[in-house]
Structure 1
Amino acid sequence: MDDRFSRRLAVVTLAALVLILAWRIGPDIYRDHFAPPAEPRLVTPRGDLAEDEKATIAVFRAARDSVVFITTSERVRDFWTRNVFEIPRGSGSGFVWDRRGHIVTNDHVIEGASAAVVQLADGRSYSARLVGRDPSHDLAVLRIDAEALPPPLPVGESATLEVGQTVLAIGNPFGLDWTLTKGIVSALGRELPASNGRPITGLVQTDAAINPGNSGGPLLDSAGRLIGVNTAIYSPSGASAGIGFAVPVDTVNRVVPELINTGRYTPPTLGIRYDPEVNALAARQGVRGVLVLDVIPGSPADAAGMVPARLTRDGRLVPGDVIVGLGGMPVDEVDDLIAALDRHRPGERVRVTLERAGERREVEVTLADGV
């Protein structure tokens, strides 16, 4: 009985071993001797691209060549040898503004640089000269002497932008040249501080990925028109977190021609003097608007009959006219007045809303050149 059991156990064990070996080496034997050779799988026809994909591709192809890559360098002097040499400083993006070789970018892209090189999409590189810069809007204009420039980007408008509409950003993030990202207008009228301390107002917020190196590149609408210049991101890590900002094209279209013509941007003025600190003290006492502290003789404010504040014998400030609106925009503080003026050009007539001793009136003034 024990011998039969032992023989059966040996047979079962052997059969199990044979099965295990067959399971382990069987596929190899089948593949080597019986299976057909492996071939690429048949491609499943995709069909035509979706219409929105076609539109995005068309916009990128039309705009890509007009976007440039900018590298900057800084001149430094060796402390020991006193030799002067150039070292790399940074990089950014820009775009062709006109056929004369003007390139628009951010002011912070070229700030502090002693030289800049503009590379076109076809690989040609040119030394650029600075035409003008405006830190208050983070805009700058360079110029290159180049033959057969790509066409300038078509210019749109930002006043009619709507939250939710599609936007596309082209630039060179992290040195990865001519990258396209897509998103929507997330918000309008945003505000960020500029390098000179004044706020940049009216910014377009977008969730299109904007990373270091995108600065100065164009923000386009779905028709391929320029609607902004990518300027900044909001991110603790320094990489895109879905919150990017662009200078609106209406501002660009007002500032850039003046930079080309004069080398600087001069905002219009009313010809008054004000003080943010005095205004802040007045605001704590419930005074809304900008106090007119002085009126420059011969200025638009003088022609409109604006009355400045005055000091009493005991040192109290008695308000005269207080500006509470300009060009249809409410003015609660100095930054509001700066932003309202920035929407206009010297020579334009605007309506100014004034308050004095509790009474409100409106006057029309012709804005003058600022300084």
Structure 2
Amino acid sequence: PRVHEVLVQKAGKKLGLPVIPSRMAMLTRPNHGRAACHYCGQCGRGCKTASAFSSSQTMVLPAMKTGKLNVICNAMARELLTGPDGKVTGVSYVDKPTRTEKQIRCRAVVVAASACESARLLLNSKSTRFPNGIANSSGMLGRNLTDTVGYGLGGQIPALENLPRHNCDGIGGMHVYVPWWLLDDKKKNFPRGYHIEIGGGFGMPQIGGFRGHEGYGAKLKEEVRRYYGSYVGFAGRGEMIPNEHTYCEIDPEKVDQWGIPVLRFHFRWSEHEINQAKHMHDTFNDLIVAMGGKPQPRASRREDGGISVGGSIIHEAGTVSMGNDPAKSVLNKYCQAHEVKNLFVADAAPFISNADKNVTLTIVANAWRTAEYLAEEMRKGNV
């Protein structure tokens, strides 16, 4: 752990919070031609050595090397085409460079455009059999939309002032984090929970990084050097419970540049999420004080009224939910449409809730399971 993370661990111990090594989906040893992380700290720019997980490097490129994958670039899917029996027969898409419509035929189709775009594609795929969108007799397409609950608070820690300068990058991102620790607490005023992400250290100085320090010349420089690296930040990421007021639908008037109708969003936090964000604030405040610091509320475009703006954490899930009852869900437990047996959805859209963990690796695991089921159904001739 970095210096500020050691102080967080000590504060966590005082307060009874578990501060453990974080899981970052980065290689510590070479694997299948991907090098181990060499601590360059440029994860946000894309990992040149593919040490950090990304679908493009870890999945798409290896699949292309098999010679069994054909990638069509600059294609904007417009709608799924269906035959008289209701099954998907192909995909209509816009070729962006020529702005012309093209079609590709299929035996089966797996939609994985992200939760909202997958719902948009299905809602726009209308026919006589499915006037409200393909596989949408339940009316659940676009419903159950969720995003991660977010709240952040920072503080200045005097113990970190004037530290000797050193490279504290290490493996990208946080080296420790706090998992949800009140699973058995029945007294709290919200369901489920959240985890805590931790920021701090000697990040690359940038414009706006020292706002609040006034002066000019030598005095200003002295202030900046003194406080550089002495700030910590805590970000809570929590579970949202689906509600009837939060969903997406096709906008009856607006289209994108390709002439495809876009989504219109309705979003509302319930008291569950609002109370959860208040709990985050109190916890972060206690952590900063336990570190000997002073909490400093931060201005964030992501937040409004003490909680994140819906969609700003970009962990959208739901919209094409799975379930056992076709009247209340769009997909079965294998992410196969109840009404269209050769249609599958394999992103976060099938999720019926949005746990505090980031959704990516759960998407991967679920997609793997769906792929195995589809392969077996195709082998049996059911698809």
Return the TM-score normalized by structure 1. 0.20
Higher RCO, Cα 8 Å, sep 6+: 2
* Structure showing greater Rg: 1
